[in-house]
Amino acid sequence: ETGVTQTPRHLVMGMTNKKSLKCEQHLGHNAMYWYKQSAKKPLELMFVYNFKEQTENNSVPSRFSPECPNSSHLFLHLHTLQPEDSALYLCASSQAHRGLSYEQYFGPGTRLTVT
Amino acid sequence: AQTVTQSQPEMSVQEAETVTLSCTYDTSENNYYLFWYKQPPSRQMILVIRQEAYKQQNATENRFSVNFQKAAKSFSLKISDSQLGDTAMYFCAFMKNNNDMRFGAGTRLTVKP
């Protein structure tokens, strides 16, 4: 379980706070992802980065801002969130080659509560 | 848009028995990948098994096997000789030839002693 790490594991923040989630992968992969997992809903893909370039942004509100400084690190910056943003945020990575990606490896997630 | 449907929100099985989890998907693509992921309580999501759509042979990983019916767009997971450690949420996932993976809502499986 050390392939993809996420910090913090738990975060409680007010609606006016600014915080960041961090993800690091130790697998040598070149693609990284952010997902939102809410109760009784399918995982929602938020952002995809290939070789540090953002390739997918699935209509995510601007209060979520991703950053990928290198292929091993991925951040999700949070600003003026709403209570409905409370969820488990999962990071994943995979090896992509010529647009073809293989299975994704997930981190343990950050449990976010917005008060 | 691709959608993935898991029609069984919850299932239970006796230890050592066999259980099958259902998954259907909707796509107009011919080449794609299907996955089953397992998420144990308070633990990380891990890959259980994968299937390439161009392969007719059903994938197998030890006690886990799939029944892939491409024409019916069905991808069920069979767990044989169920163990207590198999208790988890199971997610079916679909991926085209890019990085956009779509998940079903999940099936909560409980293995009873």
Report the SS3 class of residue A49.
strand
The 10s digit of each residue's pLDDT in A34-63 is: 999 998 788 899 998 887 777 767 789 999
Out of A90, A94, A101, closest to residue B45 by CB: A90
B102 CB neighbours in chain A (<8 A) are: 42, 45
SS3 sequence of B66-109: EEEECCCCEEEEEECCCCHHHCEEEEEEEECCCCCEEECCCEEE
| B47 to A56: CB separation less than 8 angstroms, yes or no | no
pLDDT for position A78: 96
CB B31 within 8 A of CB B94: no
| A40 to B100: CB separation less than 8 angstroms, yes or no | no
Residues 6+ apart with CB under 8 A from A36: A43, A44, A46, A87, A88, A89, A90
CA gyration radius for chain B? 13
A88 CB neighbours in chain B (<8 A) are: none
The 10s digit of each residue's pLDDT in B50-60 is: 999 988 899 99
- Give the model's confidence band at B31: pLDDT under 50 very low, under 70 low, under 90 confident, else very high: confident
| B100 to A43: CB separation less than 8 angstroms, yes or no | no
| B91 to A43: CB separation less than 8 angstroms, yes or no | yes
pLDDT for position B56: 86
